[in-house]
């Protein structure tokens, strides 16, 4: 149940970021200076921390989504859905930890 709620919340959050991200990328058609200035805000430490949250949400949504597909299409999916939930957590940690270390060292100039 909570994973279903979290899937919806992360999905909505990612969608609104996507709208903004297409708009900021569209500035490459305006001028290099306009694009560089706006993309520069993504390098700000506060926004850098929000990006960590965004990637956390994307990784959960991606691997929980794969779990949902397996529950729907794999004959044994419903029986193993609990174990697969643990698998989602493991894959999430394995990908998220290296990302946080690397991204924050970029953002905070390590």
Partner 1 sequence: MTTPEIAQPRSSTRAVSLKGGGRNRSGQTNFELYSWLFMRLSGLALVVLVLGHLFVNLMLGGGITALDFGFVAGKWANPLWQVWDLLMLWLAMLHGTNGLRTITNDYAEKDQTRFWLKALLITASIVIVVLGTLVIFTFDPCLDPSSTLSVCSK
Please give the annotated binding residues, written as ranges.
Answer: 61
Is 92 near partner 1 (CB under 8 A)? no
* Closest separation in Å from C-beta 35 to partner 1: 5
Helix axes 2-26, 45-73, angle to 10 degrees: 130
Is 39 near partner 1 (CB under 8 A)? yes
- Using DSSP's 3-state secondary structure scheme, residue 32 falls into helix
Q: Which of 7, 2, 109, 16 is nearest to 59 (CA)?
A: 7
Residue 68 CB neighbours (<10 A): 16
Is 72 near partner 1 (CB under 8 A)? yes
Q: Do the Cβ atoms of 73 and 29 come closer than 8 Å?
A: no
Q: Which parts are annotated binding residues for heme?
A: 61
Q: Do the Cβ atoms of 107 and 101 come closer than 8 Å?
A: no
Residue choice 51, 57, 84, 88 for contact with partner 1 (CB under 8 A):
51
Residue numbers at the binding site for partner 1 (CB under 8 A): 8, 11-12, 14-15, 18-19, 22-23, 25-26, 28-29, 31-32, 35-36, 39, 42-43, 48, 51, 55, 58, 62-63, 65-66, 68-69, 72-73, 95, 98-99, 102-103, 106-107, 109
């Amino acid at each position: 149940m909570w994973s279903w709620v979290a899937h919806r919340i992360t999905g909505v959050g990612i969608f609104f970021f996507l709208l903004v991200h297409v708009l900021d990328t569209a500035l490459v058609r305006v001028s290099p200076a306009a694009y560089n200035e706006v993309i520069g805000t993504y390098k700000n430490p506060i926004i850098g921390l929000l990006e960590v949250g965004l990637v956390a949400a994307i990784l959960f949504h991606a691997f929980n989504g794969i779990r949902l597909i397996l529950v729907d299409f794999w004959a044994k999916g419903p029986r193993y859905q609990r174990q697969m939930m643990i698998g989602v957590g493991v894959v999430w940690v394995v990908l998220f930890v290296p990302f946080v270390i690397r991204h924050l060292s970029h953002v905070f100039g390590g």
